[in-house]
Structure 1
């Protein structure tokens, strides 16, 4: 077990918290069944986006993201794979012009965080007369999806986790149509948005990046204009305790159903709870 620790930095004009585990992801003892063949039906991947590469730490991240944004309306941008996310979530997104970018190959808070970049969904590469060119396939822009339950967050992960790295950005704001309209307005237009302006006075930003290939690394970034100092620290400590408890009873898990019953206690959330 490797404790979760957030590093506070001043970026984008606000206090930002980074969790950068590097090679020391929070769960160090893994269930051996992740490396075996699973029966048909509910599996670690279908329920928690956990497999034998991105393992139980993904469930910890799902719980951490959800609990960091408790009490607010949550909207997510699954980076790049907008239309795949529409299929896994079963709903169409609100189109916006900007999405957040984290470089999973970098290892420091400053070098990973690229801020907002133009949404790049639905592009592919083709060979042109001067080399490889980007071809726009469908509608331009990123997709902003509402998340009603942690299961929605897992469904969004299902759309993105097959790359060398994957990223989902969650914007949590006060409930209501008027506040959602202000959020979407801040993510549209020709001018690169500032994180402080997107969040406003009430919003919480959480970016979850998962590195799958060698040389790509996980991270969780949290930001808000309000004083979050105690929240990331308290939740990090609680996550660490949950991981310790999970690892202590790991040998009791004999089957996929046993594993799935252990995940809510590890994550700190029920998949279908709001």
Structure 2
């Protein structure tokens, strides 16, 4: 992808997509809400809160700042519109229909020193989405357990591009995910090993692009 973020990004997005299989996925691309609107080609659900992970911290506890008030970038030139100014303190929650959507949302944030995207995976249905949206709105800082309830999975992905910024994936759920996470981690390790063993066969960009779904363990258009 660039000289800092390479094939590991395919592993990250594949892990997120496979862990949330069967659930409806919604993402908050941190800070770059309007860029994500353009890359995804759809309007977000506006919410008041987003998650914050400090990519400069080394330990899980020091990295995790929990929910913070949402904020979105303003254009500098030309001047921001009245709508942008009015909604600068709100984040955007985007539905993800396919893995390609997840990658597109990630593209919206990846050019920064440290990019961050949060994914909420919940059972499909309008009523459950309404409860998720309500939990991310309002003046009171939400608790992660209240947002997830008993049936949701939370994932936060940070990807560091500058020195001193680190990659991380934070996973949370009310249910025990140890077994599926262990199995997925083992499968990811096997896919990385298989990929590294055939690097000499990748002689062109098309070869590389064909290898990425195999590394991720899922096709870009998978739902």
| TM category, shorter | over 0.9
Please state if 1:101 is matched with 2:52: yes
* Corresponding position: 1:250 with 2:214: no
Alignment partner, residue 56 of structure 1: 7
Q: In the alignment, what sits opposite 1:122?
A: 73
How far off is 1:51 after superposition?
Answer: 2.5
- Cα shift at 1:52: 2.5
Structure 2 runs not aligned, ≥5 long: 77-83
Q: When you count strand as a share of all residues, which structure comes out higher?
A: 1
Which structure dedicates a bigger proportion of its chain to helix?
2
The CA RMSD over aligned residues, in Å, is: 1.2
The DSSP-based 3-state class of the residue aligned with 2:101 is helix
1:209 matched to 2:180? The reply is no
Of 178, 183, 202, the residue aligned with 2:132 is: 183
Contact 1:171 1:206 in 2 (8 A): yes
Mark the runs of 5 or more structure 1 residues left unpaired by the alignment.
Answer: 1-49, 126-135
2:33 equivalent to 1:85: no
Q: Secondary structure of 1:262's match? A: helix
- TM (norm. structure 1) is 0.77
Q: 1:259 aligns with which of 196, 201, 208?
A: 208
Structure 2 partner of 1:240 = 189
Aligned partners of 1:176, 1:214: CA distance in 2, in Å? 42
Deviations 1:87-130 (A, max 9, x none): 000000000000000000000001000000000113589xxxxx
**Where do 4+ consecutive residues of structure 1 move more than 2 Å?**
122-125
Paired residue secondary structure (1:185): helix
